[in-house]
Amino acid sequence: MLTGEDSPALPGNTRHVRVRMHHTDLLGAVYHGTYFDLFENARTEVFRALAYTYRTCTEEEGRLMIIVRAVCDYQRPARMDDLLAIAVTVPEMTRARLTFTYDVRMAESGQPVAHGENVFAFLDARTNRPTSVPPRLAALIRATPSFGLPGRPARDSRRSGAGSPD
């Protein structure tokens, strides 16, 4: 779905996507469910550029990422051949959950198109039991200013750290 139209001038957390026919509905606008695929592809490619993949998460860090919340607010339609810029940010990281937000805009005009959010929890790949955010992923997010996460340790401020991971 990403078309290789990334620009070296883009921030590291932003990816361009050209709207293709298969993204659209009968009215010619991007189908509402397609935005979740666009979010996933942007997030995946942002992390791939930082040398962190889902394979790293599962095979090297022994974690499974599961979506526990997915939201999209639609602001204006995008149509076939529009170039979209999708910025991926991390506004919150607790011990066991990670929130990603997605700001979708028309690349040329900057007009807002959609805003999304995914909240992930993590499972131990061997036991399928809840566990913490993978250490390498947490460190990478903290070390990447463009994600927008304040420079703080990954912890849940609502809890003292005792008990369940979330």
11-25, 27-41, 104-118, 147-161: least confidently modelled range: 147-161
Please give the pLDDT value at position 90: 95
Residue 82 makes CB contacts below 8 A (sequence gap 6+) with 18, 19, 106
CA 53 vs CA 74, 75, 77, 91, 154: distances in Å = 28, 30, 31, 20, 20
C-beta separation of 106 from 99 below 8 A:
no
How do residues 46-66 score in pLDDT, each as one tens digit? 999 889 999 999 999 999 999
Distance CA 74, CA 19 (A): 16
C-beta separation of 155 from 161 below 8 A:
yes
How do residues 31-41 score in pLDDT, each as one tens digit? 999 999 999 99
Distance CA 162, CA 166 (A): 10
Percent of the chain with pLDDT over 90: 78
pLDDT of residue 162 exceeding 80, the answer is no
